Amino acid sequence: MSMNISIIGTGYVGLCTGVGFAKMGNNVICMDVDEKKIKQINKAEPPIYEKQLKKYLENVTAKGVFRATTDLTRAITNSDLTMICVGTPSNQDGSMDLRYIEQVSKDIGTALKNKEGYHVIVVKSTVVPGTTEINVIPHLEEKSGKGVGDDIGVCVNPEFLREGNALEDFLNPDRIVIGQYDKRSGDVLEKIYFNFNAPVLRTNLKTAEMIKYAANAMLATKISLSNEIGNICKRLGIDVYNVMKGVGMDSRISPKFLRAGAGFGGSCFPKDIAAIVAKGKALGYDTQILNTVLNVNKKQRRILVDMLENRTDGLQNKKIAALGLAFKPDSDDVREAPAIDVISMLKERGAKVSAYDPQAMDNMRKMHGDIEYCSNSRECLKDADGCLILTNWKEFKNLSDKDFDVMKNKVIIEGRKVLNPSSVKNFEGICWPGRLAQSKTEYHKDPRRGVD
Ligand code: NAD
Best mutation site among 32, 39, 132, 140 for ligand 1 pocket (most ligand atoms within 8 Å of CB): 32
In the prediction, which pLDDT does 437 show?
63
> What is the block-wise mean pLDDT of the chain (452 residues), using blocks of 10 residues?
95 96 97 98 94 96 98 97 97 95 98 97 98 98 98 98 92 97 98 96 98 98 98 96 98 97 96 97 98 98 97 97 96 96 98 98 97 98 98 97 97 97 95 74 45 42
- Minimal-distance CA residue to ligand 1 atom 22: 9
- Minimal-distance CA residue to ligand 1 atom 30: 125
332 lines ligand 1 (CB under 6 A): no
Q: Which ligand 1 atom is at minimum distance from the Cα of 14? A: 26
CA dihedral 108, 110, 113, 114 (to 10 degrees): -90
Best mutation site among 17, 104, 267 for ligand 1 pocket (most ligand atoms within 8 Å of CB): 267
Best mutation site among 13, 332, 333 for ligand 1 pocket (most ligand atoms within 8 Å of CB): 13
Which residues contact residue 32 at a Cβ distance below 8 angstroms, ignoring those fewer than 6 apart?
8, 9, 10, 11, 14, 38, 68, 70
DSSP 43-55: TT--SS--TTHHH
Alpha helix stretches (DSSP H) within 24-128: 35-42, 53-62, 72-77, 99-112
In the prediction, which pLDDT does 1 show?
76
- Minimal-distance CA residue to ligand 1 atom 1: 11
* Sequence-ordered strand ranges (E) for 235-375: 319-323, 352-356, 372-373
Distance 375 CA to ligand 1 centre (A): 30
Q: Which ligand 1 atom is at minimum distance from the Cα of 37? A: 9
In the prediction, which pLDDT does 164 show?
86
SS3 labels along 158-175: CCCCCCCCHHHHHHCCCC
Tell me how far the alpha carbon of residue 299 is from its chain's centroid.
19
Are 7 and 28 in contact, with CB atoms under 8 Å apart? yes
Q: Which ligand 1 atom is at minimum distance from the Cα of 333? A: 41
Which residues contact residue 68 at a Cβ distance below 8 angstroms, ignoring those fewer than 6 apart?
10, 18, 29, 30, 31, 32, 37, 38, 41, 42
88 lines ligand 1 (CB under 6 A): yes
CA dihedral 173, 397, 345, 354 (to 10 degrees): -120
For Cα atoms 342, 343, 347, give the angle at the middle one, nearest 5 degrees. 120
Q: Which residues are catalytic?
A: 268
Could you give the CA distance from residue 226 to residue 147 in angstroms, rounded to a whole number?
48
The domains of the chain, with CATH numbers, are 4-203 (3.40.50.720), 217-440 (3.40.50.720)
